Amino acid sequence: MRIPDSFLDELVARSDIVDVVGGYVRLTKKGNNYWGLCPFHSEKTPSFSVSQQKQIYKCFGCGKGGGVVNFIMEAEQLPFVDAVRLLAQRANLEMPETGEAQGVREYRKRLLELNREAARYYHGVLRSPEGAAGLDYLRRRALSPATITRFGLGVAPEGWDNLISAMAERGYSKKELLDAGLVVKNQQGRLYDRFRNRVMFPIIDLRGEVIGFGGRVLDDSTPKYLNSPDTVIYNKSRNLFALNLARKSRQGHLILTEGYMDTISLHQAGFDCAVASLGTALTAEHAQLLSRYTGEVIICYDGDGAGVSAAQRAILLLEGAGLKIRVLQMRGAKDPDELIKTQGRAAFAQLLEQSENHIQYRLDRLKGNYDLTDDTQRVEFMKEAVGLVASLHSAVEREIYGARAAELAGVSAEAMAAEVKKELRRRIFQEKKKQERRDLAPAQQMQPRERSLRYENIRSARAEEGVIRLMLLSPDLFRQAAAQGLEPEQFSAPVLGKTYRLLRTRWEQGLQVQLAGLAGELSGEEMSHVASITDQPESAAHAVQALRDYIAVIQTEAQRRGGGDQIALLRAAQKKYKENKSYGGS
């Protein structure tokens, strides 16, 4: 059973796209549309547009677009039915049950319940004789009982099938344990517990669900930290440890650390805004997730070479998400956990207060790579510094940090400014040449971004795009199109013919003719392309004549492609219209 179109219509009507998107993106109204930084890719200049009139969004950078349901599908990484369910909860609508889709939802719910039971089991072991080594480890790490309980920490005991047996008693199958990533299958097909003899860190999402685990070994085994694999309920690149707690912080920023213990120690010390990535390097998805909950991130990575390299990579991703960035440099300790234990909370607070602007941090790191008493190395330093300063968007920042780089290299600020200016001209020239190459291929520009949707007949496809825009502007034009015998089969581009057919069906059924209503029928690529079409201007002033002209092009090109068969199809369509009284007058 599919979700009724009438329910989708009501849901879309109650879910204004500006309100929904505004919960994820800082929007500013400019002209008729709202603009912000795209939540789906890294950018520094807003190219993400939301139209309240058309109820669609469109990014001119990455090309994603669609209606409010598509936005939730992309933003929350949810399948169609779950995205509809989330919006329904937001709009206080009772969700209709949906056959097979309901089965998928129930299985996801079952796996979440299994993870919760596993977390309870691990936490229970911590208080038993089997968990003595784990509890001793946590106490040596100076974690209080309250912190242990708050983070739901536990222990996976030694042995191959302790969790399998415990969960079997609670009614969970081996397949469910495998799908949740809690067990591993060897080459002989035997299942065994993934986590054994490890302190366990439950990973909890923003809804309070246990979606995975991290485990720290209690002996000399490897790897030192083991994490849940990606599953149907867990994706390590789209979640952050302790964000469920840190998002409620009132400290005005988030602290980004490298590990579970650093984050937990900071929370225990009163820095309740700390988060960590989950056994993987920071990703663009992580950066976009952070930008939903703060405008400033303080990077607090280890002070070793690996930590410095990771901070450099993180800066670029966070900057791309439009975040203000500072970097805290460790002094007298290798990581935040050790610093708090050896020097106390006040010492960390002082370092936090002294954390540097990320541009100064990058200049300092760059300086450390060169011997600036050597002229050859000074020149190499200047080349890299010029590139860094030229990449800054603000003229004020370029002047300030250009002068600092000049001072470090022992050259005049004027010389540095001249080199930066030259580099900026070079970059502008390169971008201009790229644009010229794009402009020299107008036919290529008319093609969809997605190669699987390529147009075979540009002339017909452009007219087909116009028809779809007109139908969304004035659905009554379907009568005129029927009178002229326009059928989806005459469209040269399958995606446009499919869209026309779906919109016409909605009109025939008395439903709202709107793009947002097609979220369950079009793929993400198809929806993004159709959204880009509808975002283009189309006048309703002479709509009837424009429609006639578009249809003439479509049918002429259809005849050229199909010869006599297409002519017969046109005549049959016109005859069908005359016999069908449901369309009314033209």
Taking the C-alpha atoms of residue 586 and residue 131, their distance in angstroms, rounded to an integer, is 79
Distances (CA, A) of 424 to 140, 378, 389, 433: 54, 21, 10, 14
Nearest one of 155, 90, 92, 88 to 126, comparing CA atoms: 155
Which strands sit side by side in the sheet containing 274-276, from one edge to the other? Answer: 274-276, 254-257, 296-299, 324-327, 356-357
Q: Residues with Cβ < 8 Å from 402, sequence gap 6 or more? A: 389, 413, 416, 417, 420
| Secondary structure, 3-state, 28-82 | EEECCEEEECCCCCCCCCCCEEEECCCCEEEECCCCCEECHHHHHHHHHCCCHHH
Residues β-bridged to residue 327: 299, 356
Q: What is the pLDDT along the chain (586 residues), one digit of tens a residue?
A: 478 888 888 999 999 999 999 988 989 999 889 999 998 887 778 999 999 988 999 998 888 999 999 999 988 878 888 889 889 989 888 888 655 456 777 888 999 999 999 999 999 999 999 999 999 999 999 999 999 999 999 999 999 999 999 999 999 999 999 999 999 999 888 999 999 999 999 999 988 999 999 999 999 888 999 999 999 899 898 899 999 999 999 999 999 999 999 999 999 999 999 999 987 789 888 998 898 889 999 999 998 888 889 999 999 899 888 899 999 999 889 999 999 999 999 999 999 999 989 999 999 989 989 999 999 999 999 999 999 999 888 899 999 999 999 999 999 999 999 999 999 999 889 888 876 665 555 555 677 777 778 888 989 999 999 999 999 988 999 999 999 999 999 999 999 999 999 999 999 988 888 888 898 888 888 999 998 888 787 776 788 899 999 999 999 999 988 744 444 555 555 555 555 544 444 3
Tokens of 218: 């209690």
DSSP category for residue 303? S
Residues 462 and 513 in one domain: yes
In a domain, 519, yes or no: yes
The domain boundary, picked from 303, 332, 363, lies at 363
E strands of 54-128, at which residues? 56-59, 65-66
My answer on whether 106 and 220 are in the same domain is yes
Same domain, 269 and 224: no
pLDDT computed for residue 583 by the predictor: 43
Among 410, 439, 468, residue at a domain's last position: 439
- CATH number for 492: 1.10.860
Q: What is the DSSP letter of 231?
A: B
pLDDT score at 34? 95
pLDDT at 582: 46
* CA 552 to each of CA 284, 401, 566, 577: distance values in angstroms, whole numbers, following the listed order: 46, 61, 13, 17
Are 167 and 226 within one domain?
yes
Q: At what angle do helices 458-473 and 524-534 cross, to 10 degrees?
A: 80
Residue type, 133: A
Distance CA 152, CA 567 (A): 71
Q: Judge if 208 and 248 occupy the same domain.
A: no
**pLDDT on residue 399:** 94
Residue 380 lies in a domain: yes
Q: Which tokens hold the place of 574?
A: 């016109």
Q: What is the pLDDT of residue 537?
A: 78
pLDDT of residue 548: 92
**Residues 263 and 318 reside in one and the same domain:** yes
CATH of the domain at 185: 3.90.980.10
Residues 431 and 468 in one domain: no
Q: Determine how β-strand 274-276 pairs with β-strand 48-51.
A: unpaired
Instruction: Give the pLDDT score at 586.
Output: 36
224 with 348, same domain: the answer is no
For 215, the enclosing helix (H) or strand (E) is strand 210-217
CATH number of the domain that residue 39 is part of:
3.90.580.10
Q: Tell me if 444 is assigned to some domain.
A: no
Number of folded domains in the chain? Answer: 5
Residue 71 lies in a domain: yes
| pLDDT for the residue 5 | 84
204 domain-assigned: yes
Q: What is the pLDDT of residue 319?
A: 87
Q: Within a domain: residue 546?
A: yes
Which H or E run includes 428? helix 413-439
User: Could you give the 3-state DSSP secondary structure of residue 82?
Assistant: helix
Please report the pLDDT score of residue 572 as a whole number.
54
Residue 46: give the domain boundaries.
5-90
**Rounded to an integer, what distance in angstroms lies between the CA atom of residue 211 and that of residue 232?**
9
User: What pLDDT is stored for residue 237 in this prediction?
Assistant: 85
Q: Are residues 355 and 299 in the same domain?
A: yes
Q: 220 and 112 in one domain? A: yes
Is residue 446 domain-resident?
A: no
DSSP state of 522: S
According to DSSP, residue 236 is labeled G
Whether 550 and 465 share a structural domain: yes
How many residues can be counted in the chain? 586
Residue 520 φ/ψ, nearest 5 degrees: -85, -5
109 and 86 housed in the same domain: no
- 586/576 Cα distance (integer angstroms): 14
| 16 part of a folded domain | yes
The last residue of a domain, from among 203, 234, 265: 234
Which two three-digit tokens encode residue 143?
């974690």
